[in-house]
Amino acid sequence: MSFAASLAQSIAGLNVAQQEAVNYMHGPCLVLAGAGSGKTRVITHKIGRLIQAGMQPDQVAAITFTNKAAAEMRERAKSLIGKSAKGVLICTFHALGVRLLRQDGRVLGLKPQFSILDSDDVTSILKDAGGSTDAATARQWQWAISLWKNQGLNAAQAEAQARAPEEVSLARIMARYEERLTAYQSVDFDDLISLPLKLLRDHPEVRERWQAALRHVLVDEYQDTNATQYELLKLLVGERGRFTAVGDDDQSIYGWRGATLDNLKRLPEEYPTLKVVKLEQNYRSTSAILRAANNVIGPNPKLYPKTLFSELGEGEPVRVIDCDNEEHEAERTVARIQSLRAGSGDTPHREWRDFAVLYRANHLAKPFEKALRKAQIPYKVSGGQSFFDRAEVKDLCAWLRLMVNNNDDPAFMRAITSPKRGIGHTTLGSLGTFASQYKLSLFESLLSHSLGSVVPAKTLGSLQEFGRCVNDLEYRARHTVGAEASLAFLLEWLKDIGYEQHLYDAEDSEQVAAARWTNVMDFCEWMAQRSGGQIDDTAGVTTAAETKTLLEVVQTIALLSTISERQQDQNVITLSTLHAAKGLEWPHVMLAGCVEGMLPFKMDDEHGAGSENMLLRLQEERRLMYVGITRAQRTLAVTWVRRRKKGRDYIAGVPSRFITEMALDKTTVKEDPREKLKALRAEFAKRAADQALANSGD
């Protein structure tokens, strides 16, 4: 069957609203995709439809927010349209920003091999820029500066609009921070959006080239865009508005990090010919679950009213479980999981991976972890430590970043001390003073003939040997291509610098050191695979058929957040915050901690927030509850506690107002999971006894 015929057949299998969204290609389009309504299917089919209509694959871009979503979309597009999917730019916003800056950042003064700093690097630089030794203070500065950047403000603009002396002071710290980033030829994650915006806004020739290259842009999770991302998209798609925005105003839960529903409001104003298509048929949840979701979200004001419906049947009633305290809540949750998993009659066996416990804040996970361990039930905490946050991996990334960009001083400081090579803090302090005096990077200072005047000869030899080592590695990495060669290079490098011995010397426990070395091996294999083009790069840069030099792979490393996808297939229960659960789904969901003060969260006016801000916060909390409810496919239980911990004290727990808003059938919702589990065990015992009696009669 031809590509056109196969695609037409696939599109025919979509519902009417989905077909309308896929087939509309003549102007700007907003697809309001309710939870579980098949938005990824619509996006991938529209990519195919655009190519079928005459666009080249590399003229189509699909942008989303997470590496996981981009990887899933890439795989779905490949299965639908085959080889053509390789040419489509499917990536995250940040990966798109990297592509823009690598290609055209020189007009902003950026070299193509600029570094991308992680959160720890940023904290360290801000401590220096602000003259503070307190990491917590630096992180607060980091958060405030990030919000300014997401609003499209630089340091000068932030200072101009500052209303308090503290804001003026922070804006000046931001200015010093910006100076350091420029000197280091480095950017932070917010810069990956704000700098491409500046690039397109201030340089017409670059903007016109990108607009000509991308004839249609599809944006996933549009409700999560912030002001800077909206402006960037406007400049990418041009006045003709060649875009499809896919989103759901009812799932906008990231206001605290700059996402704004104003971007949805602005679309019909700035694009009067905007086509709006609503996807209201849900393919995930039962009618009972959707009814609760629709009831909860009902009180919120609507930009575009919609009501989700399902053809999956009524299903089990949504349950409400009241508990004495957090420990009791965890026990009842585990009992419910065990009873559902045991099933009865014709109910199929359920895997551990079919269950999720969702909550408002990370600290609520602890009682559930204890209860699951006690019951010997396997679990994972979603949003735990990223592989790339491990010290040994950060060490290696620092070396690799320094290979790519010698001006990266934060990477220099980590690499030269990992492993230690007889270069202490005194020497590094002298080197830093020398570099500042002559306006050089730390690495450039190693090559200066004058350096011998400030450090002893023996130390100078160690410093220069480190510099030669980095230069040699850079040359070899530039000429290393393919998985096998890359792995051999990485293993030889680790042997040369004695990194395995460094790990064993640093740890009292050989078991811990061995585990860290295993992480290093996983990292090397992972890097090598991407050099060989065997795995799609989660930054959206490498395709399955493409090989890259090891140095090119290194340039994308800061965008990557997961070592491998195999961890997703673990047969374990998921514990997750509601924010981290967005975009995911499970057959059976327990929504925990549904009490006033937690969900909705701190609605009392502790910080003098105005009534309008309080209302907006409540609306976002309601959307968060809606997101939690719509993660469930087959069963949903909502739990609350009569008393809960606040600090060292206990306070009375009041059921969340959202439980009332769910408008559940009062005669069917209450459940005691322990009694249900007890009854199931009694039933199984009776069956066993009956079978034994029957066998004895034989």
Residues with a catalytic annotation lie at: 39-40, 220-221, 251, 631
Compute the distance between CA of residue 334 and CA of residue 590 in angstroms, rounded to an integer. 10
Instruction: Give me the phi and psi of 182, to 5 degrees please.
Output: -60, -45
Q: Establish how many alpha carbons lie within 13 A of residue 542's alpha carbon, considering only the half-sphere containing its beta carbon.
A: 28
Compute the distance between CA of residue 401 and CA of residue 399 in angstroms, rounded to an integer. 6
Omega prior to 419 cis, within 30 of 0: yes
Task: Say which amino acid occupies 417.
Answer: T
Compute the distance between CA of residue 549 and CA of residue 403 in angstroms, rounded to an integer. 13
For 528-570, the DSSP string reads HHHHTT-S--TTS---TT---BHHHHHTTGGG---S-SGGGG-
Q: Which residues contact 217 (CB under 8 A, 6 or more apart)?
A: 60, 61, 62, 63, 233, 236, 237, 242, 243, 244
* Per-residue CA distances from 504 to 90, 414, 508 (Å): 41, 18, 8
Compute the distance between CA of residue 567 and CA of residue 387 in angstroms, rounded to an integer. 11
Asked if 591 and 638 touch (Cβ cutoff 8 Å), the reply is yes
Asked if 37 and 14 touch (Cβ cutoff 8 Å), the reply is no
The token pair that represents 665 in the structure block: 């059938």
Rounded to the nearest 10 degrees, what angle do helices 191-202 and 135-150 cross at? Answer: 30
Compute the distance between CA of residue 662 and CA of residue 318 in angstroms, rounded to an integer. 9
